[in-house]
Copies of this chain bind each other. A is one copy, B any other.
Amino acid sequence: MSFDDGYIAVDWGTTNRRAYAVDPGGRVTDSFEDERGLMAVPRGGFDAAAAEIRQRLGDRPMLLAGMVGSNRGWREAPYVPCPAGPEALAANILWIEPGRTGIVPGASQTGPAGADVMRGEEVQVLGAVAACLVPPDCLICHPGTHAKWIVMKEGRIDSFRTMMTGELFSLLKKHSILAEQLRGEAEPDASFREGAGAALGGQELLSALFGIRARHVLGESRGDAASYASGLLIGSDVRAGLSLPGNGPVALIGRPDLCQLYAAALTGAGRDTVEVDGATAFLAGIHMLTEML
């Protein structure tokens, strides 16, 4: 049984996993998503957790990507250094069982551009190029807990930069003096645009965030502080990201709700965007790799 006869694609992250059964033509015939991310799998439990996927989606060859290949995951897959293209990814798959179960490598960067790593996003961005959803030369933003800005050149990941934007927002919501005021969900509304505009205009994050507290204490607070704070963070992120090379629209790949927030900030910065659903890009990337095996 080879990948040409159909396969299973698994995007396995820290908190969730999504698995798809794909027919030889690249069409998804079945899929599921659950919360058996890395955190929910006991040490030594990945063989069983992967077997469970086959029980649900059929006994087929399987390619996995994401944090499942990290040192907290099933087995540690290598990082392919930048510039990283489809060939390097396919050549460095970590085969748990040759030709049957493999983990796609991540991508890494060292040198003057700064040490950086990714796992999972590389499949999505190379897949988006392969499926002609984004051009081979462009700037991509992949929002998330650790947002990635990725410079694509000639269809390869040329360089990238990770921002702790999503994690910092989560820390502020859960544990900071602002927690009480940040209970709502961030929306791309007027408050979000105001926060993003302040950050894009150069306002320092460390002080702008405290301003939320000060307005509250002075009785000037607004009900939509979560959107404003998200705007400050994403605006800071976008300001830094746009210093990377790349003309034309910025391609946003990822969760649609997060992409909408980034699109609003990028619009505020005068930059056009193209949005690509992360799941679509992921499936395109895995399909591209199976065709190279």
Residues of A within 8 A of B (CB): 70-71, 79, 108-110, 114-117, 146, 161-165, 167-168, 171-172, 174-177, 204-211, 213-215, 217-218, 220, 233, 236-237, 239-240
Contact = CB atoms under 8 A, between A and B. Distances in A.
B177 A209 contact: no
A79 B209 CA distance: 20
A67 to B, nearest CB: 11
A167 B206 CA distance: 10
B79 A236 contact: no
A204 B108 contact: no
A240 B164 contact: no
Scoring A177, A207, A236 by chain B CB atoms within 10 A of each residue's CB, the highest score goes to A207
Contacts of A146: 177, 210
Contacts of A218: 79, 108, 110, 115, 117
Nearest to A109: B214
7 contacts: A115-B211, A115-B214, A115-B218, A115-B220, A116-B211, A164-B177, A205-B205
Nearest to A161: B207
**Number of copies of this kind of chain in the complex:** 2
A165 B171 CA distance: 14
Contacts of A239: 204
Contacts of A116: 210-211, 214
A246 B49 CA distance: 62
B240 A117 contact: no
Contact of A176 (B161, B171, B209, B214): B171
A175 B175 CA distance: 8
A81 to B, nearest CB: 10
A206 B171 contact: no
Nearest to A204: B240
Contacts of A206: 163-165, 168, 205, 233, 236-237, 240
Scoring A210, A215, A236, A240 by chain B CB atoms within 10 A of each residue's CB, the highest score goes to A210
Given A115-B220, A162-B207, A167-B176, 18 more contacts: A79-B218, A114-B211, A116-B210, A116-B211, A117-B214, A117-B217, A162-B214, A163-B210, A164-B176, A164-B207, A164-B209, A164-B210, A168-B206, A171-B172, A171-B175, A174-B175, A206-B240, A207-B240
A210 B162 contact: yes
A162 B207 CA distance: 5
Contacts of A164: 176-177, 206-207, 209-210
A92 to B, nearest CB: 15
A234 to B, nearest CB: 10
A162 B217 CA distance: 14
